[in-house]
Amino acid sequence: MDTRRIIVALDFDTVDDAEAIVDRLGEAGQSYKVGLELLTIAGPTLATRLAGEGKDVFLDLKLFEIPTSVAGAVRAAGRLGATMVTVHAMGGSTIMEAAVRAAADFPHLRVIALTVVTSLTDTDLVAIGLSTTIEEQVIRLARLAQRAGCHGVVASPQGATLLRAELGPDMLIITPGVMLRAELAAGTTTEHARPAHPTAAIRAGATHIVVGRSLTRAPDPAAVLAHLAGELAELRTHN
């Protein structure tokens, strides 16, 4: 499997820690997620460095603002060399369409819509006034994102099967909330409400997986990445 489809989440509170993982992974690390925490700490420097080195940069900004502001942020992401940027589907069609129009000036940039944050449960939706299930809301927002021209969506591994059937073969499906088998067997807790193993996510229809602490906090991150790449390549061969 193309290791660019394994996105390493640089969820760190210091630039030094993030750069240390990038350096340890070397050529094997081809895709990185830079989120709000690291971007706030480091500014655009690290994202620019990664893009300059030919890495894929997934800017997980979860943009949810007026259309003009969202378009401006997407253009800024494009100028940094990012390959993906996230926007909240809950913002509605006008916001997503503004993001897609702004991204059109950067052929390498894809707009990815966040459907439902993967830490939320059905109970959380009720608390914010939505009388629907996570599954129903994910499908509703994914359809809206596709009509708005977004290139893909973010969803849990469990949601990928329904989304692939609903959206067809061309939409990207990015799945955070993946964990290694040992962690799942041990019942390791995570902020994601619906975790799964990376191979399960790919079988379900995901095009990309986002791997965080399972890899970045491991004693040998490069070995974990190589093992994951091997498993996913084998899965692809058998399919």
Instruction: List, by residue number, the catalytic residues.
Output: 62
Only one residue has tokens 């499906």, namely 173
CA distance 59 to 80: 10
Only one residue has tokens 């591994």, namely 157
Q: What does residue 99 show for φ and ψ, rounded to 5 degrees?
A: -65, -45
Query: By C-alpha distance, which of 39, 32, 45 is closest to 83?
Result: 32
Q: Which residues pair with 91 in a beta bridge?
A: none
User: What DSSP string describes 128-166?
Assistant: TT--S-HHHHHHHHHHHHHHHT-SEEE--HHHHHHHHHH
Instruction: Give the contacts of 40 (CB within 8 A, at least 6 positions apart).
Output: none
**With left for phi above 0 and alpha for psi between -120 and 50, is residue 124 left, alpha or beta?**
alpha
